[in-house]
Chains A and B, each alone.
Chain A
């Protein structure tokens, strides 16, 4: 199956600093990628849709100035958590759909555990 790589897998940062998370589609081009946030033992909560070459689309309640998304190429989307606070600590996951793939399956990155201290 298609592979999506997310980096870093874990990051600890101080309050007030910014953290960048990368999501790469390794063997297909993704015009659209999705960023999710997940709390313990809960399902995925969609934060935003990353669109190559255009602005991201944010879900209601998600601050676009705090969670900056850049989709500069067909294989890379980045999520930057700006001025991080402890309440931003969470598990962040990206996904991408292979447009050439069967049944429009979505493939996920390994996730990033962010801890803000």
Chain B
């Protein structure tokens, strides 16, 4: 059974600061997704990474995928209060693998104070 470990579990910072959160898997990812979830809402997909060593940027967010495809990081530059939320990493295997069930990390709860 794949286990996804996210760190830190909680993070509280001031507006304008930079931060990095991590996701480590006990096995190689099929494909890695990062989501952000705001209170009372469903998770919203931020990015999908597939290739080892891949780096993707989304405005102030930078996503890195480890060469061995077992770890990833999400770096936010100049955090804003709107970045507040629960950040989840997930692995979505093909639908013919484990019935296509996704595996989620426990999440990082980020609070950005104005």
Contact = CB atoms under 8 A, between A and B. Distances in A.
A4 B45 CA distance: 12
B77 interface: no
A81 B37 CA distance: 24
B86 interface: yes
Contacts of B33: 105-106
A111 B31 contact: no
Nearest to A107: B45
A32 B48 contact: no
B102 A95 contact: yes
Interface in A24-43: 32, 34, 41-43
A111 B50 contact: no
Nearest to A44: B104
Contacts of B31: 103-105
A91 B33 CA distance: 21
Contacts of B109: 41
Interface string B26-59: 0000110101000011111100101000000000
A97 B101 contact: no
B42 A111 contact: yes
A105 B92 contact: yes
Given A42-B106, A43-B104, A46-B101, A104 B95 contact: yes
Given A103-B31, A105-B48, A43 B88 contact: yes
Interface in A42-61: 42-44, 46, 49, 57
B42 A41 contact: no
B95 A32 contact: yes
Given A42-B107, A104-B95, A93 B42 contact: yes
Given A97-B100, A110-B42, A44 B88 contact: yes
Contacts of B30: 104
Interface of B: 30-31, 33, 35, 40-45, 48, 50, 86, 88, 90, 92-95, 99-102, 104-107, 109
Given A49-B99, A93-B43, A104-B100, 14 more contacts: A41-B86, A42-B107, A43-B88, A46-B101, A49-B100, A91-B40, A95-B102, A97-B92, A105-B92, A106-B33, A106-B92, A107-B45, A110-B42, A111-B42
